[in-house]
Structure 1
Amino acid sequence: MYAVIDIETTGGQFNKEGITEIAIYKFDGVEIVDQFISLVNPEIPIQPFVVKLTGINNAMLRQAPKFFEVAKRIIEITEGCIIVAHNAPFDYRILKLEFDRLGYKFQKPTLCTVEMSKVLLPDAQAYSLGKLVRSLGIPIADRHRASGDAMATLKLFKLLLDKDIDKQIVKQQIKNEVHQGISPKLFDILENIPTTIGIFYIHNDKGNIIFIGKSNNIRKKLNQIFTADTKIAKRIQKEVYTVTFEETGNELIALLKEREELLHNKPVLNPTQRKSLFLWSVYQEKLENGYETLKIHKSDGRKNAVQSFKNQKSALQFINDLYKENEIVEEVQNALSSAKNINYPTVLHNELFGSLIASNQLKYKNIIIILKGRNLNEKSAVVIENGIFKGFCFFDLNYQILNAQVLSKILIPLIYTKDVLNTVKHYLYTKKDYKIISF
């Protein structure tokens, strides 16, 4: 659990400042579960430059609660949380300072989105909150007010969680829970798991990932694992300390992310996937009579396939659908398959056939695939550039998507392999829940 915080202060001499406004969003990694926003009477004057920056003046704070009146609420909402802030050393110092004045020892682990951004967003031109979130297409309202800045920090933090492939942020959270002696039972774990589509990570008490899975209903899948009688399921039931998850909003990103996470994290209880799932491929061949055609064979990584599939039935359907795009090619290919006489010149057929294949390949050269997001306020995108899979991202509905360059700053890259591209092509061929933008 995280407490995303932003604090506005009076300014002035170091360790003499007072809080003028505080905003805290309690965040479980997926959504806000509680929040606290309040002006605070610091009982000392606000520096003029701060008034100009924030718009908060002394008159506004005369009737505001003093810090000791909101302290209990702050303790309650941050209980069991890691403090997250943009420039966390500052916000945490100010918070501790106020509690020290009350004689209360306030001590929490912290995460700084400035430092995290420098690691996970190394190409950013600036790391101030305003410039950084604007460059990432994250909407920000009420700049230099606690609620607006805390919300922008939360949205930035969500993006950083997505980009943290090594899961260092989540591991830190689990270590914090272990330190506090929190050890949920299997039933308690399931209570906090959503019934949506996504990836789940089963951790042991060291925070290490021991199993990764994908499901259209994460809770249902975990329930099956927690009640199964197989050897691996029993080990999971014995070793699980907690489960984290990432909602993906759609099946395509779930498929891509599961594969990447398995390759990157190599969980000890996941069976090693040595073979490709795409066992059958469609290849372009020239017959003895000179006509070009398509044939289905077992996949051979040494040859260039037109497209690969999980079964022969899908491969055959692909060929039939492709031929239907050109009447002459379809007629010739039907004649070839039934050994009938062909009355169309080989050269002309092969030119049309080649154009058909080239057109099919061009479909996947430079595209942005727009899919559902994790909630009603966002969409997701999968980007293929120059025929190579570049990655995926989630973006706010208020953010205009124009081309791959616009998305590049928020893109979450994955390792490119033929299987990744095969997964995308197979999804596009078999599903209809997407929109394609060519660039």
Structure 2
Amino acid sequence: MYAILDIETTGGKYNEEGITEIAIYRFNGHEVVDQFSSLVNPERSIQPFVVNLTGINNQMLRSAPKFYEVAKRIIEITEDCILVAHNAKFDNRILTTEFDRLGYKYEKNTLCTVELSKKLIPDLPSYSLGKLVKSLGIPLTDRHRAQGDARATVTLFKMLLNKDTSKNIIEAAVRKNPKRQLEPKLLDFIAEAPSETGVYYMHRKDGKIIYIGKSKNIKKRLTQHFTSDNRKSKRIQLEVTNVTYEKTGSDLIAQLKESEEIKRIKPIYNRAQRKTLFNNQLTSFKNENGYINLAIEKSDGRKKAITTFTNYQQAKAVLFKITEDYTLCQKLNGLHKTKGSCFQYSIKECNGACINEETPEAYNERVNQFLQDKSYKNQHMLIVDRGRDVEEKSVVLIEDGQYKGFGYFSLNHQITNPEILKTLINPMQNNRDVQHIIQNYLRKNKKVKTVNLD
């Protein structure tokens, strides 16, 4: 018996993805005898490129069942089955990881239709599902949606079964589920770690720190490190002899501390994180007609940035929201390429700056209001967030747009008294990366408390 499946995910870091959609067809070698498909609320955001690829967005999943609500049905429909998927290693890893999060041991043997296709139908130009089924004349609707891709994989698998008349190839291609047994030292590290927010440090035998990370749940993140089979994780698993950690309570402080520690210590396995955290920035300029334009540009330390972004997709989404919130012009902000009026003007959500109908003075007043509201440059404030326990709060200090450091307090008068406040703050380095971290955190966490010190 086979369970032919396809899974769509949120994208993101390895072993941190969540399932957004799943489709499973129980197949007895001749016909489908049961089927199940559902959207799944992954309880995390979907990466923008995945939204573009699948069409599945966060709004669609708000009322969808969470994974634990469909887990029992998945176990039932895949009982006594070999899992079959196009790139089975990926789908099996995602499914196993979700069950791991529930504390359930889910182990199945797998068959990969990519591997089978290469053996039974050699010399094709591509073995991606879309191109493969097209070359074989297999209908495929709803590409990059779980049900459409799974249906196409059922038809493909039937064809592969027929081609393997002796069944030797298919039997040889069955992959036994690897026993994910961890070394006792790794199990000890996981057992001793807290399920709390903070920064963790991995040490080798001589005490040297080889990796620094941060997580909202240190225990969960260490489990991901120690069960991952990518090359870097395997090296860390071999070398690590001790794990220490520091609880921060606040995810913002964890990010800031991780960034500073990586730059200072330069651990061997943090090479990628030593690079700049952001690739794009938002800047402004006045055009020939006197209108202030907002523009997304590649990161450039020589130019003053209003704010920074991890990638272009994030920058574009935020600029669309700014344009909408302040009734600005999509054409002037580079979001609508046109020689005439922008789309927003046609639906009366732009006042006509794109065709010089609104005066530069009136338009620029709203742009300047945005710059005053959002610009980091002259901010003088405290960011108050969670502490390390219920009686404590954390605080991040910004003076004249410069990050000064962080600290913790338990009494309100401690942060309203400037002299006491300065004794609570641990001084930290200000740089463009930490400014990006703070701006990004404030963008994503609208409810976080800020105290203006002007």
TMscore range, shorter length: 0.5 to 0.7
Shift of 1:316: 2.8
Higher relative contact order (CA 8 A, sep 6+): 1
1:185 aligned residue: 185
Structural RMSD (CA): 2.7
Match of 2:407 among 393, 411, 415: 393
Residues 272, 312 of structure 1: alpha-carbon distance in 2 compared, 3 angstrom cutoff: closer
The CA distance in 1 between the partners of 2:452 and 2:257, in whole Å, is 23
Q: Secondary structure at the match of 2:441?
A: helix
2:194 aligned residue: 194
Shift of 1:269: 2.5
Shift of 1:282: 1.2
1:414 aligned residue: 428
Shift of 1:405: 4.3
Residues 331, 423 of structure 1: alpha-carbon distance in 2 compared, 3 angstrom cutoff: closer
Match of 2:359 among 329, 345, 356: 345
Q: Secondary structure at the match of 1:212?
A: strand
Residues 374, 295 of structure 1: alpha-carbon distance in 2 compared, 3 angstrom cutoff: same
2:306 aligned residue: 306
- Contact 2:293–2:332 (CA<8 Å) still a contact in 1? yes
The count of corresponding residues between Structure 1 and Structure 2 is 255
Shift of 1:334: 8.4
Q: Secondary structure at the match of 1:380?
A: strand
Shift of 1:292: 1.5
2:267 aligned residue: 267
2:315 aligned residue: 315
Q: What whole-Å deviation, never above 9, does each CA across 1:279-298 have from its counterpart, x for those lacking one?
A: 11111122233321111122
Within-5 A mapping of 1:105-144: none
- Contact 2:384–2:450 (CA<8 Å) still a contact in 1? yes
The CA distance in 1 between the partners of 2:272 and 2:193, in whole Å, is 26
Q: What whole-Å deviation, never above 9, does each CA across 1:104-143 have from its counterpart, x for those lacking one?
A: xxxxxxxxxxxxxxxxxxxxxxxxxxxxxxxxxxxxxxxx
Identity %: 39
Structure 1 unpaired stretches of 5+? 1-183
The CA distance in 2 between the partners of 1:210 and 1:235, in whole Å, is 10
The CA distance in 1 between the partners of 2:382 and 2:401, in whole Å, is 12
Shift of 1:376: 0.6
- Contact 2:263–2:274 (CA<8 Å) still a contact in 1? no
Shift of 1:367: 0.8
The CA distance in 1 between the partners of 2:369 and 2:377, in whole Å, is 12
- Contact 1:383–1:390 (CA<8 Å) still a contact in 2? yes
Residues 1:356 and 2:362 are matched in the alignment? no
Residues 356, 191 of structure 1: alpha-carbon distance in 2 compared, 3 angstrom cutoff: closer
2:289 aligned residue: 289
The CA distance in 2 between the partners of 1:185 and 1:193, in whole Å, is 13
Give the TM-score taking structure 2 as reference length.
0.51
Residues 345, 378 of structure 1: alpha-carbon distance in 2 compared, 3 angstrom cutoff: same
- Contact 2:198–2:254 (CA<8 Å) still a contact in 1? yes
What is the identity, as a one-letter code, of the residue corresponding to 1:258?
A: E
Q: What whole-Å deviation, never above 9, does each CA across 1:138-161 have from its counterpart, x for those lacking one?
A: xxxxxxxxxxxxxxxxxxxxxxxx
Shift of 1:398: 6.4
The CA distance in 2 between the partners of 1:402 and 1:414, in whole Å, is 21
Q: Secondary structure at the match of 1:244?
A: strand
1:255 aligned residue: 255
Shift of 1:377: 1.3
Q: Secondary structure at the match of 1:391?
A: strand
Q: After alignment, is 364-373 or 289-298 more displaced?
A: 289-298
1:243 aligned residue: 243
- Contact 1:195–1:219 (CA<8 Å) still a contact in 2? yes
The CA distance in 1 between the partners of 2:446 and 2:290, in whole Å, is 37
Q: Secondary structure at the match of 2:245?
A: strand
Residues 1:372 and 2:390 are matched in the alignment? no
Q: What whole-Å deviation, never above 9, does each CA across 1:243-267 have from its counterpart, x for those lacking one?
A: 1111121221111111111111111
Shift of 1:348: 4.3
What is the identity, as a one-letter code, of the residue corresponding to 1:283?
A: T
Structure 2 unpaired stretches of 5+? 1-183, 342-354
1:425 aligned residue: 439
Residues 409, 290 of structure 1: alpha-carbon distance in 2 compared, 3 angstrom cutoff: same
Within-5 A mapping of 1:204-223: 204-223=204-223
- Contact 1:332–1:344 (CA<8 Å) still a contact in 2? no
The CA distance in 2 between the partners of 1:287 and 1:239, in whole Å, is 57
Shift of 1:363: 8.3
Shift of 1:432: 3.0
- Contact 1:280–1:311 (CA<8 Å) still a contact in 2? yes
Q: Secondary structure at the match of 2:426?
A: coil
Q: Secondary structure at the match of 1:213?
A: strand
Q: Secondary structure at the match of 1:270?
A: helix
Residues 1:231 and 2:231 are matched in the alignment? yes
2:149 aligned residue: none
The CA distance in 1 between the partners of 2:383 and 2:246, in whole Å, is 20
Shift of 1:431: 1.3
- Contact 2:295–2:333 (CA<8 Å) still a contact in 1? no
Give the TM-score taking structure 1 as reference length.
0.53
Q: Secondary structure at the match of 1:269?
A: helix
Q: What whole-Å deviation, never above 9, does each CA across 1:317-339 have from its counterpart, x for those lacking one?
A: 33344344544x45995899552
What is the identity, as a one-letter code, of the residue corresponding to 1:436?
A: T
Q: What whole-Å deviation, never above 9, does each CA across 1:390-430 have from its counterpart, x for those lacking one?
A: 11112224654216543211212221101111110111011
1:437 aligned residue: 451
- Contact 1:285–1:292 (CA<8 Å) still a contact in 2? yes
